[in-house]
Amino acid sequence: MTFTKIDPATLLGIIAGICTTLAFLPQVLRTWRLRSARDISLTMISLSSAGIFLWFIYGLYINSMPVIVANFITFILASAILVLKIRFG
């Protein structure tokens, strides 16, 4: 089994992606559990979701796996919050 050495920039991107992605998880779980998104700004979560999606597209253009994976997962979580905001207000 061979392990490829990860360069520092890629490692930094992976760690940053994990942090920013995991930051959305507590909000998704809380909103789902309480069935309330009253305290979440629709404008903020809409713009955030759009921006995350654009970062995902950017990652595809520059062929950066940390940017692609982190923003794909984060987009799913942010979109879940957006859907819950629309559904539960």
Residue 34 makes CB contacts below 8 A (sequence gap 6+) with none
Query: At residue 87, does pLDDT exceed 70?
Result: yes
Please give the Cα distance from 89 to 35 (Å, whole number): 9
Reported as a single tens digit per residue, the pLDDT across 15-73 is: 999 999 999 999 999 999 999 999 999 999 999 999 999 999 999 999 999 999 999 99
- Distances from the Cα of 57 to the Cα of 40, 47, 51, 77, angstroms: 25, 15, 10, 16
Structural domain boundaries of the chain?
Answer: 46-89
- Per-residue pLDDT, 4: 75
